[in-house]
Structure 1
Amino acid sequence: MTDWTSDFAQFAREELPAESAERLIGLLRPAILLSAAEDGELVVGRLGGVAKLPDDMAWPSLGEGSPMSFVAELDCGALARYEVDIALPDTGTLLFFVASFNPDRFQVIYVPHGTAVAERAAPGDHATVYPELLLAAGTEPSWLARDHPAVVDVFGSLQEAAEMVWDHVLDEDTGADFGWELMLYEEAGRAGPEHQVGGYSDALQGPIEAVAAHAAGTGSYGDPAFQEEARQWVTLLQVAEDTRAGMIWGDGAYLIWGIRKDHLAARDFSKVHLSVQGH
């Protein structure tokens, strides 16, 4: 068993019947959690600051003098040191931009290694310039929400999974169930805003895999086309609200970029799906 699974696996086996625990453990995915870099830590990216763009590339915009805001940069070469469940490029950088007042409009840019870049201020005064926050990384286990499409693949239905896992009663006197204990376990392990690459994103309204599959018009849970489309999607980046970088998306929201595995393999970031999810 790899190090990133051991603590959660022990927790699940202590709380659940053996069959339920092993099915849940089998669904774990490694995610790269991003945190504010301390002195001496490897910097793998940053939130905010000044964008570094190729010399011949225009600043992303909505047109008509409406530039997008620069949100994040990921150093793919640095991230390659960490285990994760997605096939990131092993060199180059990824740049993430969103429209300040219309987060449904965005752009993700891949800059290959060796490309000449220069710091570029956002044109005009309509883009938000966020304070820079350097990021360090570490691999941690991520587990899926109870309405994730992969639950259907492994348990047969959302209802069956609820009975076997989340609604499994641990204490008849208090009525405490595994879902409650999992929430406490998760909260105890949090050390700050949850920025991450890969793994299961935080699904406040719906898993990014399901959101993207719905957007593709493939039906709903249990439909073969929906399940197959959902399997093709992974989390590229999740950025939580973070006051250190001045990033407030609204009501505790996350920006979650998903991408199909085939587009990621082809280094095609033009078809990324962004979901803004708040409470």
Structure 2
Amino acid sequence: MGISESMSNAAALIAVARATLPPAVVDVWIGLLRPAVRLRLARPGEQVVGQLGGSPSLPDSMPWPQSPAGLPLGFVAGIDLSRLPVTSLDIPLPAHGTLLFFYREPSSSAAAVVSVPTGTATSERAEPEAPAYPAVDLAAELVATEPGWDHPALKRAVAELSAADQEFMADLYRCDDFRIEMAEQLDQPRHYVGGYARPVQGSVEVDVAQRRLGGRSEPALHDEARRWTSLMQIDSDDDADMMWGDCGSLYWVMRPADIAAQRFEAAAFVTQCS
């Protein structure tokens, strides 16, 4: 899946790379860009593709999702896949149905994804315990996303460069000109479907791999991390009264084969904050 400069931010990201990175590094870095759907507050007249907070419509036969400890999860977000440009993404999302995302603070494991196929009988449900987050309608735009400095895709790309360029790439996200210019391109809040997760700390995929492998080191750790990809990131959001720790984000990460098979219950969950 290539990156088109018609994406709302792609031309700006590519311009920053060409202005601040060594020639041999530019094409490598640009080649790592991936498409994502950015979700943001819907403006008047825009198509609504989903919502933060509010009350979800759950299948009539389904009980409210619970944590492993048997406590009700909070409803975070829902997206209507039929209203997203899923065919422009490089993850095999279905073109129809709804995905609902749940989480209970402050646990690092109490989260769930519920897939609701089109045509399923549903009814709107209220939160069983705490008041729901305020409902915020979301619009969508297709954007380009870049790997974090310790993402396994970037680590693999570095290995193919010359020694001098490897040295530069190892310190890439500490390069002042590049880092400052890239920060200028980052829109807030960071809600994304697909693409690269934008980590608050380190690579989300590596975080998942460490849990799966019991903290093993490279190369096994990065081999496992490359088997995972970001499904959904939900940032802290003032409009929805959502604050994940200290300005953190929630991440649902999956293997592409599980996405293709619509096994959304297999999603791994990570939360990070500063």
Give TM-score, length-normalised by structure 2: 0.89
Secondary structure class of the residue paired with 1:7: helix
Matches within 5 A, 1:238-249: 238-249=233-244
**Structure 1 pair 103–129 and aligned structure 2 pair: CA distance change class (3 A):** farther
Query: Which stretch shifts more, 246-255 or 83-92?
Result: 83-92
2:223 is aligned with 1:234: no
Q: Which amino acid aligns with 2:83?
A: A
- Residue of structure 2 equivalent to 1:171: none
CA distance in 1, matches of 2:67, 2:194: 28
Q: Which residue of 2 aligns with 1:204?
A: 200
Find the aligned partners of 1:219 and 1:161 in 2 and give their Cα distance.
Answer: 29
- Write the deviation string for residues 142-169 of structure 1: whole angstroms up to 9, x where unpaired: 111111111221111999766223647x
Deviates more, 1:51-60 or 1:7-16: 7-16
Are residue 155 (structure 1) and residue 158 (structure 2) matched? Answer: yes
Matched, 1:67 2:72: yes
CA shift, 1:244, in A, is 0.8
Structure 2, unpaired ranges of 5+: none
Change (3 A) 1:136 1:68: same
Contact in 1 for aligned 2:236/2:249 (Cα 8 Å): yes
SS in 2 for 1:270: helix
Determine whether 1:179 maps to 2:175.
yes
Secondary structure of the residue aligned to 1:216 is helix
Are 1:25 and 2:27 matched, yes or no?
no
Q: CA RMSD in A?
A: 2.5
Letter in structure 2 aligned against 1:152: K
Per the TM alignment, residue 114 of structure 1 is displaced from its structure 2 partner at its CA by 0.9
Equivalent pair of 1:49/1:132 in contact (CA under 8 Å)? yes
Greater shift in the superposed pair: 77-86 or 230-239: 77-86
Q: Give the number of aligned pairs.
A: 268
Once the two structures are superposed, residues 82-137 of structure 1 have per-residue CA deviations (whole angstroms, 9 ceiling, x without a partner) of 732322111000001111342421111000011111101122x2x34100011111
2:217, 2:176 → 1: CA distance?
Answer: 24
1:139: how far off? 1.3
Q: Do residues 164 (structure 1) and 168 (structure 2) align?
A: yes
Once the two structures are superposed, residues 8-54 of structure 1 have per-residue CA deviations (whole angstroms, 9 ceiling, x without a partner) of: 22221122221111111111111111110001111111100001101
Partner SS, residue 110 of structure 2: strand
Partner of 1:244, secondary structure, is coil
Q: Please state if 1:278 is matched with 2:273.
A: yes
Structure 1 residues without counterparts, runs of 5 or longer: 169-176
Residue 81 to residue 261, structure 1, CA distance change in 2 (3 Å): closer
CA contact (8 A) 2:68 2:110 kept: no
The one-letter code matched in structure 1 to 2:238 is T
Name the CA distance, whole Å, in 2 between partners of 1:271 and 1:189.
Answer: 33
Q: CA deviation at 1:255?
A: 0.5
Corresponding position of 2:118? 113
State the alpha-carbon separation in 2 of the partners of residues 242 and 97 from structure 1: 15
Worse-matched range after superposition: 205-214 or 181-190: 181-190
Q: In the alignment, residue 190 of structure 2 is paired with which amino acid?
A: E
- Classify 1:191/1:150 alpha carbon distance in 2 versus 1 (closer, same or farther; 3 Å): closer
Asked if 2 retains the 8 angstrom alpha-carbon contact of 1:218 and 1:226, the reply is no
Structure 2 residue 56 is the aligned partner of structure 1 residue 51: yes
- Aligned residue for 1:50, secondary structure, equals coil
Deviates more, 1:40-49 or 1:150-159: 150-159
Question: Aligned to 1:133, which of 126, 136, 139?
Answer: 136
Aligned to 2:83: 78
Amino-acid identity (%): 37
Match of 2:93 in 1: 88
Per-residue CA deviation, residues 238-273 of structure 1 (Å, 9 max, x unaligned), is 111111101011111100111111111110011211
